[in-house]
Amino acid sequence: MLIPHPLLGPRDAQEFTYLGDASLLDRPDGMADTAPEAFAEYVYLRDNPAGVHRELWFHEQGDRSWLIVTRNTVTHEILGAELARDVALAAIGGAQ
Amino acid sequence: MTRLSGGLIDRGTTLNFTFDGRAMTGHPGDTLASALLANDVRLIGRSFKYHRPRGLVAAGSEEPNGMVELRSGARREPNTRATMAELFDGLSADSQNRMGSLGFDLLAVNDLMSPFFAAGFYYKTFMWPRAFWEKLYEPMIRRAAGLGSLSMLPDPDSYDKGFLHCDLLVIGGGAAGLAAALTAARAGARVILADEDFRLGGRLLAESHTLDDAPATDWIAQAEAEFASLPNLRVMRRTTVFGAFDHGIYGAVERVGDHLVTPGKGVRQTLWRITAKRTVLAAGATERHIPFANNDRPGVMLAGAMRAYANRWAVSPAQTVAIFTNGDDGHRTALDLAAKGVSIAGVIDTRADARAQGDYPLFAGAVVSDTKGRLGLKRIAVTREGQTQWIEAGALGVAGGWNPNVHLASHHRGRPVWNDDLLAFLPEPGAVPGMVVAGAANGQGSTHGALHSGAQTALAALAELGITAPAPDLPRAEDAPVTQAAFWHVPGKGRAWVDFQNDVTVKDIKLAHQENMRPVEHLKRWTTLGMATDQGKTANVTALAVMAELSGQSIPATGTTIFRPPYTGVSLSVLGGGDTGPNFRPRRLTPTHEWAASQGAVFVEVGQWMRAQYFPRKGETHWRETVDREVLATRAGVGLCDVTTLGKVDVQGADAGEFLNRIYANAMGSLKVGMVRYGLMLREDGHAYDDGTCARLAEDHYVVTTTTAQAGPVYRHMEFARQCLWPDLDVQLISTTDAWAQISVAGPNARKLLERVVDGFDLSNAAFPFMACSELTVCKGLRARLFRISFSGELAYEIAVPARYGNALMARMIELGADLGATPYGTEALGVLRIEKGHAAGNELNGQTTAQMLGMGRMVSTKKDSIGAVMSRREGLTAETRVLVGLQPVDPGARVAAGMHLFAQGAAQNTQSDQGWITSACYSPHVGSMIGLGFLADGAARIGEVITGANPLEGQSTALRVVSPHFVDPEGGRLRD
């Protein structure tokens, strides 16, 4: 597979380490009252779609960027890749 | 058999080779298969299950029967298709799967037992009794039903791998592929043309057709000359593209040296990963058989193969041949062979309205219903309107129609589409993104059709890349339509083979149908159809047709096979690509490796690292002797150990402290500059992840260490936290594991030794107390970092210098510390020292333990949020009572083993009464017996109690006293002095 790195262009998937569902970005607040329930869900519950999936890949043998890659798990078609940092920053900005 | 006229062989040169020890000759241009035919060898092997005599069926990579063991000694290569082995001088080949001689195989008795070996036989018979399977049935079946045998020696040849990129990959060098490559290369595109054959041309080499009224080889030579002048085109002969992977990536094997006696210093095969923007699949087509009774005798082959042997290699399997066909294609073989002087005993055409196309006897509306000739075909039975007559023929060519080679087009689960006009499956368009299919592989099998579809698909593919190209002038070529009847097999009583290599007959398919194994996936597994090394290339579609007939369904409704890589067999050697032995994975050497090697250190692999395990001295006869000495020398004087392999992460930025607060379970933001703190990381699920030290060199600068094993994962995890969880924090990370050589200096004389190295730095306890850190210079100006931390319980420091000075620093300190008893120690002594001190390491931090179990439950701060903090407080983890304790045998001579389970004395040793386990154990020279660390239920309250350590695997039960995990200096006075 080739992953279209937003900074480095198409890179071989072998340079990356896979983590999984990009929902891991949405880490709950550990000091909130609802933290136990929220963390149980955050740590253990994942969607497992046959189709379009947003997932985390780490460019370990490259520039050490964490990417969010949008991939169709059925066809392996890659619909896009973003820097996870940009997505996370946008989420913080949106929340403020 | 003498050679026929013509052919693409170099008769001026003779090549010597042997088959089953018999000396034979051939010529350059021959394959082993064509050379065997030229030496009158028709019987080449024995079949898989019934040990029936078998000969060649095909002339290419689809060959199911003609498998041999090639070469000898360590280079012996079983199951090699004779049709793919390019002849070379000195080649030796042997027949396989026989017991006795090839002509008289003792296991041919299996053939008489055939009623018992029908489809599903193994499943039904060998199920019971179960115990017989491993000891009796499996060895017996493996011996009887076999292929070639391995040499059991290491492969002496070298292999390589490489990466290629192109605009257009053309798979197949026949008419379509050549036209596609020419078109694209002329337009300036970067083109790779790959073909599995050693000679370009594909079927053009096998046919007698002309191009522009000249032999096809003239046009091929012209194309090759042009290829040679085009730097943007790479021609890869002897290269099989075996798989279509994601995003335009193709796997290919180039047989670089397979056609040489030995590859010498060169590589034998190269594994290529080709990344192509577009691909033209021009893989051609494979002819299929028409099953009839006893259709597997040597001499019965595919008619197209017979034609290829005659036209390209100038050989015929017999002087008199017959042809059995369901279409016009079989007549071509008759004409070509007749033109070469081979006598045609008859063309048997299943179509009643067939017409002879030359001067040969025609049996229209007839079938071949049986054959005779035990070790080679002698005569065939021709049946027409219920009347049977026997005809003498030494060989029979069977033409059942052509199956497009859709394999690579289906590697992304594309389902081939049935075409009623062509009576064949065509590739599903667009099934592999970026791939277009041309020529016979797409059902455009006439020479004209192949040339033009090759050029057109290349133009279309280039247009998608924005490259415009003129349509090439293509030579005039034959354009005969496919005329063929849907005739799939000859019904009758005898066994009619569908899959030669796995001995699957029409009867087996009928039985599968009767037993309701009708879906194609069940059919395959019940009969083993298509599961041999040839993957049923000549068999699968015919089998589907037979099943369709039995079930009264259409062929497409019956199903299709799913194709997966590889297209043909790929050796494990080439998949390894040379990454064997020391090249299997990178080897990381510590900065002091050279020095350690010069001291005679014994090394141990720790992940990718090679670490000094211990440093034996003259006269020491056992590793324990060495390790005990190193431990005692450290506790009595000073020991030095390279600890560079521990991971180091440099953390800088205004928010570095806050970031580490969130990474570590304990607080790091409050750490004073110039101090070090032990840190414990949790996983988000609340379990202990990794531990190490965290040193604050400046307000905005920390250096953290990880365990050796987790250096990579922890760094990745920290980057995840930085980029994905808290991108708003001002913090930067970099791994500096390899940048700094770090040496542990431990023991009562540690300070004295370091004083001889540092440049006037005050090491007194007041100026540089326990857990202090500083940047400084050593050895007159070399920048360094010093950390007063202890893993051994002794007065200890770790000193770091730029990696390239590590070797020199180690040598210098050993030299300067000679009078202080400076002693190098390895990982064994390191382990003993830390077990004696009760420090947790990888054995205790195994991913299943918690801070509470490690006795660090209170370290998990409740005042802040950190990774894993919330989940560490869940009921299931807080209810855990097992904690780390020390264990000492009541009998000092008793053995303590890691992995022992712990039980109350006298308790039954089972899961219900299990109270914990031992994580680490060693001989402690300090204690004078073996000792252990382990997790024990309610351990903190049981100090002094005697329990049982059980090792039921070795029938061992040891009385152990529960003690503090700190066997050495439990008050911690030594390290603070």
Is residue B372 helix, strand or coil?
Answer: strand
pLDDT band at B128 (very low <50, low <70, confident <90, very high): low
Decide if B727 and A92 are in contact by the 8 Å CB cutoff: yes
Minimum-distance CB partner of A30 among B246, B720, B869: B869
Decide if B247 and A35 are in contact by the 8 Å CB cutoff: no
Per-residue pLDDT tens over the stretch B753-799? 999 999 999 999 999 999 999 999 999 999 999 999 999 999 999 99
Query: Chain A partners of B724 at a C-beta cutoff of 8 Å?
Result: 24-25, 56, 66, 84-85, 88
What's residue B286's pLDDT? 97
Beta carbons within 10 angstroms of residue A33's beta carbon: 8
Assess A29–B contact: CB distance below 8 Å, yes or no. yes
Query: Chain A partners of B684 at a C-beta cutoff of 8 Å?
Result: 39, 42-43
The CA-based dihedral angle spanning residues B562, B565, B569, B573, taken in that order and rounded to the nearest 10 degrees: -150
Decide if B728 and A89 are in contact by the 8 Å CB cutoff: yes
Please, are residues B284 and B298 in contact by the beta-carbon 8 Å criterion?
A: no
d(CA B951, CA B404): 62
* DSSP for residue B934: E
Decide if A25 and B724 are in contact by the 8 Å CB cutoff: yes
Q: What is the mean pLDDT of chain B?
A: 94
Decide if A1 and B874 are in contact by the 8 Å CB cutoff: no
pLDDT at B101 over 60: yes
Decide if B246 and A35 are in contact by the 8 Å CB cutoff: no
Q: Taking the CA atoms of chain A, what radius of gyration do you get in angstroms?
A: 15
Q: Which of B702, B612, B613 is nearest to B653 (CA)?
A: B702
Query: Chain A partners of B249 at a C-beta cutoff of 8 Å?
Result: 1-2
Bridge partners for A12 per DSSP: A2
Bridge partners for B956 per DSSP: B951
Query: Chain B partners of A39 at a C-beta cutoff of 8 Å?
Result: 684, 870-871
Minimum-distance CB partner of A36 among B720, B724, B870: B870
Please, are residues B606 and B708 in contact by the beta-carbon 8 Å criterion?
A: yes
Decide if A35 and B723 are in contact by the 8 Å CB cutoff: no
Decide if A25 and B725 are in contact by the 8 Å CB cutoff: yes
pLDDT at B592 over 60: yes
Per-residue pLDDT tens over the stretch B882-937? 999 999 999 999 999 999 999 999 999 999 999 999 999 999 999 999 999 999 99
pLDDT band at B136 (very low <50, low <70, confident <90, very high): low
Query: Chain A partners of B720 at a C-beta cutoff of 8 Å?
Result: 19, 24, 56, 58, 66
Q: Where are the beta strands (DSSP E) in B49-156?
A: 53-54, 67-70, 77-81, 91-95
Decide if B725 and A88 are in contact by the 8 Å CB cutoff: yes
Query: Chain A partners of B428 at a C-beta cutoff of 8 Å?
Result: none
Minimum-distance CB partner of A36 among B720, B727, B874: B874
Give Cα separations from B761 to A30, B677, B815 (angstroms). 44, 22, 20
What's residue B355's pLDDT? 95
Residues 6+ apart with CB under 8 A from B263: B157, B158, B256, B257
Shortest CA gap A66–chain B (Å): 7
Query: Chain B partners of A25 at a C-beta cutoff of 8 Å?
Result: 724-725
Q: Which strand ranges, in their side-by-side order, compose the sheet holding B588-589?
A: B588-589, B609-614, B602-606
Shortest CA gap A77–chain B (Å): 8
Decide if A58 and B719 are in contact by the 8 Å CB cutoff: yes
Q: Which of B637, B595, B593, B626 is nearest to B796 (CA)?
A: B637
Per-residue pLDDT tens over the stretch B369-419? 999 998 899 999 999 999 999 999 999 999 999 999 999 999 998 999 999
For an interface test with A, give the residue of B870, B871, B873, B877 to mutate (most A CBs within 10 A).
B870
Decide if A60 and B716 are in contact by the 8 Å CB cutoff: yes
Q: Which of B463, B402, B396, B403 is nearest to B436 (CA)?
A: B463
Decide if A42 and B869 are in contact by the 8 Å CB cutoff: no
Query: Chain B partners of A60 at a C-beta cutoff of 8 Å?
Result: 712, 716
Bridge partners for B276 per DSSP: B166
Per-residue pLDDT tens over the stretch B213-227? 999 999 999 999 999
Q: In chain A, positions 45-84, which contact chain B (CB-CB < 8 Å)?
A: 56, 58, 60, 64-66, 75-78, 83-84
Average pLDDT of span B523-538? 89
pLDDT at B125 over 60: no
Shortest CA gap B689–chain A (Å): 15
Interface residues of chain B, partner chain A, Cβ below 8 Å: 245-249, 275, 412, 433, 684-685, 712, 716, 719-720, 723-725, 727-728, 864-866, 869-871, 873-874
The nearest alpha carbon in chain A to B413 belongs to A75
Please, are residues B395 and B302 in contact by the beta-carbon 8 Å criterion?
A: no
Q: Which of B928, B934, B930, B919 is nearest to B964 (CA)?
A: B934
pLDDT at B201 over 70: yes
Cβ pairs A/B, distance under 8 A: 70
Shortest CA gap B721–chain A (Å): 9
N-to-C CA span, chain A: 37
Give Cα separations from A73 to A9, A44, A79, B111, B433 (angstroms). 21, 20, 11, 48, 15
Q: What's at A40, amino acid-wise?
A: A
pLDDT at B648 over 80: yes
The nearest alpha carbon in chain A to B726 belongs to A88
d(CA B231, CA B226): 10
pLDDT at B104 over 80: no
Shortest CA gap A7–chain B (Å): 15
Minimum-distance CB partner of B684 among A19, A25, A43: A43
Decide if A1 and B249 are in contact by the 8 Å CB cutoff: yes
Shortest CA gap B666–chain A (Å): 15
Query: Chain B partners of A35 at a C-beta cutoff of 8 Å?
Result: 870
What's residue B722's pLDDT? 98
The rounded percent of chain B whose pLDDT value lies above 90 is: 86
The nearest alpha carbon in chain B to A17 belongs to B716
Mean pLDDT per 10-residue segment, chain A (96 residues): 96 95 96 96 95 97 97 95 97 71
Average pLDDT of span B591-610? 96
Query: Residues of B643-658 as b/e, b for ≥16 C-beta within 10 angstroms?
Result: bbbbbbbbbbbebbbb
What's residue B118's pLDDT? 66
Shortest CA gap A69–chain B (Å): 13
Please, are residues B428 and B409 in contact by the beta-carbon 8 Å criterion?
A: yes
The string of DSSP codes covering B497-566 is EEETTTTEEHHHHHHHHHTT--SHHHHHHHH-TT-STTTTTTTHHHHHHHHHHHHT--HHHH--PPP-S-
Decide if B724 and A85 are in contact by the 8 Å CB cutoff: yes
Beta carbons within 10 angstroms of residue B378's beta carbon: 16
Q: Taking the CA atoms of chain B, what radius of gyration do you get in angstroms?
A: 38
d(CA B903, CA B910): 9
For an interface test with B, give the residue of A15, A24, A37, A39 to mutate (most B CBs within 10 A).
A39
Is residue B694 helix, strand or coil?
Answer: strand
Is residue B593 helix, strand or coil?
Answer: helix
Beta carbons within 10 angstroms of residue B471's beta carbon: 11
The string of DSSP codes covering B173-220 is -SHHHHHHHHHHHHTT--EEEE-SSSSTTGGGGT---EETTEEHHHHH
Q: What's at B362, amino acid-wise?
A: L
The nearest alpha carbon in chain B to A73 belongs to B246
Assess A31–B contact: CB distance below 8 Å, yes or no. yes
Query: Chain A partners of B716 at a C-beta cutoff of 8 Å?
Result: 17, 58, 60
pLDDT at B969 over 80: yes
Q: What's at B111, amino acid-wise?
A: D
Q: Give me the interface pTM, i.e. the ipTM.
A: 0.98
* DSSP for residue B905: T
Decide if A30 and B724 are in contact by the 8 Å CB cutoff: no
Matching CATH number, A2-95, of 3.40.50.1820, 3.50.50.60, 3.30.2270.10, 3.40.50.720: 3.30.2270.10
Reduce the secondary structure of B149-165 to three states and give it as a string: CCCCCCCCCCEEEEEEE
Query: Chain A partners of B608 at a C-beta cutoff of 8 Å?
Result: none
Please, are residues B619 and B708 in contact by the beta-carbon 8 Å criterion?
A: no
Give Cα separations from B423 to B32, B207, B229, B304, B553 (angstroms). 33, 22, 41, 17, 15
Average pLDDT of span B131-141? 62
pLDDT band at B112 (very low <50, low <70, confident <90, very high): low
Average pLDDT of span B463-481? 94
The vertex-B956 CA angle with B950 and B957, nearest 5°, equals: 50
Please, are residues B431 and B414 in contact by the beta-carbon 8 Å criterion?
A: yes
The vertex-B153 CA angle with B148 and B155, nearest 5°, equals: 90
For an interface test with A, give the residue of B274, B275, B716, B723 to mutate (most A CBs within 10 A).
B723
Give residue B321's Cα distance to chain centre. 45
Minimum-distance CB partner of A30 among B727, B870, B874: B870
